[in-house]
Amino acid sequence: MNINQWTKKIIEAPQRFTLPIMTHPGIEMIGCSVRDAVQDGTVHAQAIKALSDRFPSKAATVIMDLTVEAEAFGSRIEFPDNDMPHIIGRLVDSSSVESLQVPPLTVGRIPQYLEASRLAVEMISDKPVFAGAIGPFSLAGRLFDMSEIMVACYIEPEAIALLLEKCMEFILSYCRELKNTGCAGVIIAEPAAGLLSNEDCLQFSSVYIRQIVEAVQDDSFMVILHNCGNTGHCTKAMLDTGAGSYHFGNTIDMVKALDECPPDVLVMGNIDPVGILRMMTPGEVKKEVHHLLERTSAYPNFVLSTGCDVPPHVPVENIQAYYDALNEYNRKM
């Protein structure tokens, strides 16, 4: 698939499309647990397929799991039955960064996530499949501890730069292998970069993501940069990465974000997956989706999405209301 042509068709089409980051409802649809899906690539792919069959998303996505790469480096992980995995403890400090080894792609759950992507591509032929990976600063924060790295960026910048280089090297290797599975792209989740100023985001995140983008992005493979920590203060730093598309969280003003982004790239967001999709009634969900679509009606490159990964236990009626609202909006156009 030519992903640039896919993007062009979305922008030129009169109707609006949606691409939510959503896998957990599919896990529930096939009667499995979150633990099953994050540890077994076949279960993971079956959940993606079930969701793709049920709802008309413009593309399919894998789970946004921000522990996979940290586990590969050696972090200890806790696996609840029906919640996302959690990292336990701190893996490195400034004195041990130099000895930290960049792991191969054969450790931890990396092979299972590669398998999930490969199988999803085989199972889903009518739309692109986007894999997922963590961003370098977010990975570094999980290895170093987020509170500690926010201080170390200023007092030990050389150690953090070395850690970021190692994180980038691993993520790049992972993205290359994800590309080999046949995926149309990767959603790089870099939420921790939202804790930084625009200038610091450029230094500690964007410069490393740009190297990944330049190495893997082409006509067949798109990098979608997700930063749900950005409230509008570091959008310029996100754009500096050269990613093919940008995905924003629910704390940002989508119209302001669209104003800052080039009109020839897809800009996605930003229905709150918890406060709206999980907590509101179907009628309220429809109103929120309608409101966002109306506010962004002047931007052909806008793609309706969730502000982050849809969590477990979202009522299926609310998901249906989300899609119904989009259909109703398109019928009125």
- 115-131 pLDDT, tens digit per residue, is 999 999 999 999 999 99
Tokens of 288: 């929120």
Q: What is the pLDDT of residue 96?
A: 97
Asked if the peptide bond before residue 270 counts as cis, ω within 30 degrees of 0, the response is yes
Q: What is the pLDDT of residue 194?
A: 96
Q: Say yes or no to pLDDT of 252 above 80.
A: yes
Q: Say yes or no to pLDDT of 333 above 90.
A: no
Q: Mean pLDDT throughout 43-51?
A: 98
pTM reported for the whole predicted model: 0.97
For residue 76, give the H/E element and its range: strand 76-78
- To the nearest whole number, what is the mean pLDDT of the chain? 97
Q: What is the pLDDT of residue 220?
A: 96
- In sequence order, which residues have a C-beta less than 8 Å from that of residue 268 and are 6 or more positions away? 19, 224, 245, 246, 247, 248, 302, 303, 304, 305
Q: Mean pLDDT throughout 45-55?
A: 97
Q: Say yes or no to pLDDT of 1 above 90.
A: no
Q: Which of 118, 110, 128, 68 is nearest to 303 (CA)?
A: 128
pLDDT band at residue 141, thresholds of 50, 70 and 90? Answer: very high
Domain 3-270+303-312 has CATH 3.20.20.210: yes
The model's pLDDT over 216-248, given as tens digits with 9 standing for 90+, comes to 999 999 999 999 999 999 999 999 999 999 999
Q: Mean pLDDT throughout 140-162?
A: 97
Q: Which of 254, 238, 222 is nearest to 137 (CA)?
A: 238
Q: Token match 């069959």: residue?
A: 53
Q: Mean pLDDT throughout 129-154?
A: 97
